[in-house]
């Protein structure tokens, strides 16, 4: 199930990238543009993501699925075990001024471990699940790096 979900996510990102690449190609095909020319022209003409009244949205996802065997940790040693951790973050914000954004981040994470652990002097069977939800505001300042907008 998880492999199918990751494959679907990868294919949808690839299709989106291909569609966007078709619309961002230069119209004049008689000129050959190098990477530097393409990048600088993009940043100097229509690229204005940090201007006042723009919205920002973002997502981040991390996944760790690991089988452990004879692994030392801080207070114990894992003889055998399986670890499944994931973290999902949604971000959003609004630019109040040029290069100044206020936003809100929502984070959900789960840490799960099942296995046999050695803690002096006993060997224990461990099953643990830790879930966490965080909601936190932020204020972010960006610094322009393009030549025509440097501070």
Strand order in the sheet with 55-72: 55-72, 77-97, 100-119, 122-141
Q: Which pLDDT does position 131 carry in this prediction?
A: 96
Stated length of the chain: 151
Q: Which pLDDT does position 17 carry in this prediction?
A: 65
- Whole-angstrom CA distances from 31 to 21, 23, 24, 26, 39 are 18, 17, 15, 9, 15
Q: Which pLDDT does position 147 carry in this prediction?
A: 65
Walk along the chain (151 residues) in steps of 10 and give the mean pLDDT of each run. 71 65 53 73 70 90 92 84 94 92 96 89 88 95 73 55
User: Where do the structural domains in the chain lie, given as residue ranges?
Assistant: 2-149
Q: Which pLDDT does position 83 carry in this prediction?
A: 93
């Amino acid at each position: 199930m998880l492999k199918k979900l990751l494959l679907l996510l990868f294919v949808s990102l690839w299709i989106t990238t291909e569609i966007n690449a078709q619309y961002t190609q230069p119209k004049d095909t008689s000129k050959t543009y190098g990477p530097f020319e393409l990048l600088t022209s993009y940043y100097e003409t229509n690229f204005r993501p940090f201007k006042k009244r723009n919205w920002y949205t973002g997502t981040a996802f991390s996944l760790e699925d690991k089988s452990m065997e004879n692994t030392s940790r801080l207070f114990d040693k894992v003889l055998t075990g399986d670890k499944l951790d994931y973290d999902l973050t949604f971000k959003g914000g609004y630019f109040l001024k040029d290069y100044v954004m206020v936003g809100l981040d929502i984070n959900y994470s789960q840490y799960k471990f099942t296995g046999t652990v050695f803690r002096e002097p006993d060997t224990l069977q461990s099953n643990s699940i830790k879930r966490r939800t965080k909601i936190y505001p932020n204020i972010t300042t960006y610094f322009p790096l393009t030549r025509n907008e440097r501070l």
